[in-house]
Homo-oligomer: A and B are copies of this chain.
Amino acid sequence: MMFDKLVIATGNFGKYKEFDEIIKSSSKDFADEIIFAPEISKLTVEETGKSYSENAMLKARTWAKQSGLPCLADDSGLEVEALDGAPGLYSSRIVMGKDCDKVSWLLSNLKGIENRKARFAASVALCVPDEYILICEGFCYGKIAEAPEGSNGFGYDPVFIPEGYEKTFAKLNPDIKNSISHRTNAFRKISNLLLRQKEHTHS
């Protein structure tokens, strides 16, 4: 086993569940026990970074210092071509102080616009205390639906239709989302790199 305990450094239970599934389906050797961060501390981390990678690192490092355990964190965003990459880094905060939800904000900004191309981007950071921080990026390309559909996942999932599919992330089976998502693609780069190294150390 790569790690006995691994903390998912997020306060978002939907994201924790998703990582739990991604990790277990990507590799049986990665982590024995996968812990939801709020179970071990009330710590909250302000996302002050200027990139997904900075925010992911900030969360993973801060939780690793707090817990002394290996911590995995991500920061991700939806980048819409017709909106010059918005909401991007501000995906989760775009409606702060506004009386509307994120999905409605997005659909109203794309009203009448033909180009619906978008991608999800994620940076996943793994911090192993006193050893290293490893950060990988992943993407998932697709388009924005005309109206929300489905109730799986979280965030912009109800309006994101990945390439090669007709349904949104929120309507697709979570197993399908977790086999192609930006978060999965980023995590697999991390696990491939580490598990190759680990096998060698033990061989």
Contact = CB atoms under 8 A, between A and B. Distances in A.
> Closest 9 interchain pairs by CB?
A200-B200, A197-B197, A133-B135, A132-B136, A196-B197, A134-B134, A196-B200, A54-B54, A196-B201
Contacts of A50: 48
Copies of the protein in its oligomer:
2
Interface residues of A, number: 26
Contacts of A201: 196
Interface of A: 48-51, 53-54, 57-58, 61, 130-137, 189-190, 193, 196-197, 199-201, 203
Contacts of A53: 57, 61, 133
Contact of A134 (B51, B132, B137, B203): B132
B135 A135 contact: yes
Contacts of A193: 132, 197
